[in-house]
Amino acid sequence: MLGDQSREEIARLLRAAGQQPDEKLDLARTAVLLAALEKAHEPLERYFHHLSLLERDAAELVERHGGIDTLDERVTLINSLLYDRYGYDGDHESYDDLQNADLMRVIDRRRGLPVALGILYLQIARSQHWPAEGLAFPGHFLIRMECGAERAILDPFNKGQRRHPSELRELLKAMVGVDAELSPDHYAPASGRDVLLRLQNNRKLRLLREHQGETALTVVEGMLMIAPDTPTLWRESALLHLHHENIRSAISALEQFLKLAQDDRRRAEVQQLLQRLRRRMN
């Protein structure tokens, strides 16, 4: 997984990741590969080396302290490593910059979105076998860490600050609207695959806003490599292909959507579109 990789080799590695069970997904390295799809032949070695350094430095700090036994100690160690030693921080000044959802550029700049920084945070925690997971909190990615009976919700965008229920309520209202209230769904764990899709979705939406449809299609193709059984991605892929007059690819993607989305309310709409496209090909 090192060195100068062709797009075909990157795609092969991503498809292999897509076959992995969720608990075995290497989040940060897969996120680097997803970013590399748009930058074929850019050397990846230094990015993987940086991730290895984060993991190695965490292990050395644990050993130096003779073990880390409490949640406070674990959070302090990761925060000191990620934010103090390596200088990472949320990009508060240019939040919508495309680079903030590209883990290669996040590593270069030491700035990123909550979910990008969250992936690095999770990578360090999991390298030490510390229970940590992303949350399905809307609009602002958060992490939950546990140690025995202790647990904390952390904000990777703001240097790993703990977020208490009152702060989460305010954050939710800022993200969703003043009428929003916290519910158990907001504390639900996100799978590793969902975390990666959330990162890529941020990039896709920014690209579409900037009318970079072809690059957005590359992002969706990468998402499909790691989550090939996600019907909505096949539909998005079809619509982007159609926008670029890739009719055969659009038809193939719509067929895959129909195969996977047996109960989706959009089936009839997709079937009608598919029929129209097939007529165009005749």
- What is the pLDDT averaged over residues 144-159? 96
User: Taking residues 185-189, what's their average pLDDT?
Assistant: 92
- Whether the pLDDT of residue 2 is over 50: the answer is no
Measured in whole angstroms, how far is the alpha carbon of residue 13 from the centre of its chain?
A: 17
| Mean pLDDT to the nearest integer, 145-169 | 96
Would you say residue 3 has pLDDT above 60?
Answer: no
Task: Return the minimum-mean-pLDDT range out of 66-70, 141-145, 231-235.
Answer: 66-70
Q: Is residue 221 a contact partner of residue 253, using CB atoms and an 8 Å limit?
A: no
Q: 210-235 burial by CB neighbour count: b if 16+ within 10 A, else e? A: eeeeeebbbbbbbbbbbbeebbebbb
Residue 69 above 90 pLDDT?
no
- Predicted confidence (pLDDT) per residue in 19-49, tens digit: 999 999 999 999 999 999 999 788 999 999 9
Per-residue pLDDT, averaged over 123-139, amounts to: 96
Give the list of residues 6+ apart from residue 133 with CB closer than 8 angstroms, or none: 122, 143, 144, 189, 190
**Average pLDDT for residues 222-239, to the nearest whole number?**
97
What is each CA distance from 68 to 55, 64, 143, 156, 170, in whole angstroms? 15, 10, 19, 20, 32
pLDDT band with cut points at 50, 70 and 90 for residue 161: very high
State the Cα torsion 29-86-78-18 to the nearest 10°. Answer: -10
CA dist., res. 191 & res. 280, Å (int):
40
Q: Which residues of 113-141 are buried (b: 16+ CB within 10 A; e: fewer)?
A: bbbbbbbbbbbbbbbbebebbbbbbeebb
For residue 66, is pLDDT > 90? no
Q: Residue 4: pLDDT above 80? A: no
Give the DSSP letter of residue 172. H
Looking at residue 90, its pLDDT comes to: 98
Beta strand 111-112 pairing with 89-90: parallel
The answer to which of 1-15, 173-187, 189-203 has the lowest mean pLDDT is 1-15
pLDDT at 228: 97
**CB 145, CB 75: distance < 8 Å:** yes
- What is the predicted pLDDT for the residue at 1? 42
Q: What is the residue-wise DSSP string for 226-269?
A: H-TT-HHHHHHHHHHHHHTT-HHHHHHHHHHHHHH-TT-TTHHH
Q: Return the amino acid letter for 138.
A: P
Share of the chain above pLDDT 90, in %: 89
CA–CA distance, 181 with 237 (Å, rounded to integer): 34
| Confidence at residue 78, expressed as pLDDT on a 0 to 100 scale | 98
pLDDT score, position 14 = 97
Residue 96: partners with Cβ closer than 8 Å, 6 or more residues away: 206
Residue 184 scores a pLDDT above 80: yes
